[in-house]
Amino acid sequence: MLKTRQPSSTPAETDDETDDEILQGGAWLPHGFQLDPHSHVHGQLVYAAAGTLVTATERGTWVAPADRITWTPPRFTHSHRFYGQTDVRLASVPLDLCAGLIDHPSVFAVSPLLREALLALTDEPERRPGAHRRLLAVIVDELADAAETSLHLPEPSDDRLRAATALLRADPARPSTLAELGRAVGASERTLSRLFHAELSMSFHRWRTTLRIHHALAHLTDGMTVTQTAVACGWSNPSTFIDAFTEVVGQTPGRYQAGLRIHAR
């Protein structure tokens, strides 16, 4: 169970949260630390001030490096996994403030104001009555205006598509074409292509690229070089990997790793 920074705080993750509990705080977690599926009656924001966080729900998987924050609405079952030495910050959003945010799990970019508000909320004891509530209101306002990011990997429901994506999850570097995956799961290339667009709202290429970027973020956070990461995730050319990473994450792999070192100080 994750403990909060403040000794008086409620433990930051439980399976039996009550309506009166507001979970808030932070801790350093080791690489690979995992929290099994659970849910909360309140909304939940989880921010990795250093390291990388992966959140999974029935709707798919979201990855959040140090410049992103995950949002999980009330009652959504979710799990977390942390990559690198992670400075995790957690804040619960009371039901009356949840209406200001979207009604499905997501990941948002963290602005400088949002980052400082999150750090203050999870680092400092409340010095004046209502101070944390006011900080949380600022955070919700910032998130209401923030754009959702593209680091969501949706989960399929069709058995054939689930089988195909499972093969890719087991080996993100797998070079199989869509036709080869189709033969492996008993579906035509055309059928799988249609299912990717109909169920996941993205092409096969886009889904696999996003999957590989998820793994690349974990490898980079764990200290693997850019070239090593490119090879491990299925790119034969590091330049192609850098281009794909930059398009999805919004910065180069090298800059991302440099940012990890800055945030970890």
Domains of the chain: 24-145 (2.60.120.280), 154-264 (1.10.10.60)
CA angle 52–155–190, rounded 5-degree value: 125
- pLDDT value, residue 264: 55
Helix (H, G, I), strand (E, B) or coil at 102: coil
Are 40 and 64 contacting, i.e. CB atoms less than 8 angstroms apart? Answer: no
Task: Give me the tens of pLDDT residue by residue for the chain, a chain 265 residues long.
Answer: 333 333 223 334 444 444 445 568 889 999 889 999 999 999 999 999 888 899 998 888 998 887 889 999 999 999 999 988 889 999 999 999 999 899 989 899 888 999 999 999 998 778 888 888 999 999 999 998 877 776 889 989 999 999 999 999 999 999 999 999 999 999 999 999 999 999 999 999 999 999 999 999 989 988 899 999 999 999 999 999 999 999 888 889 998 888 776 555 5
Q: Is 225 helix (H, G, I), strand (E, B) or coil?
A: coil
Alpha helices in the chain (DSSP H): 95-98, 112-123, 131-145, 159-170, 178-185, 189-200, 204-221, 226-232, 238-249, 253-264
What is the model's pTM? 0.78
In the prediction, which pLDDT does 79 show? Answer: 95
The alpha carbon of residue 215 and the mean position of all alpha carbons in its chain are separated, in whole angstroms, by 12
- State residue 263's pLDDT score: 56
Q: Which two tokens stand for residue 198?
A: 């109909």
- Residue 12: its pLDDT value, please? 41
What was the pLDDT predicted at 1?
34
CA distance 242 to 122: 34
Amino acid at 27: A
Cβ neighbors of 109 (< 8 A, separation 6 or more) are 67, 68, 146, 147, 149, 250
HSE, CB side, 13 Å, CA atoms: give it for residue 71: 26
124, HSE (Cβ side, Cα atoms, 13 Å): 12
User: Sign of dihedral through CA atoms 107, 109, 114, 119?
Assistant: positive
Q: Is the CB of residue 85 less than 8 Å from the CB of residue 27?
A: no
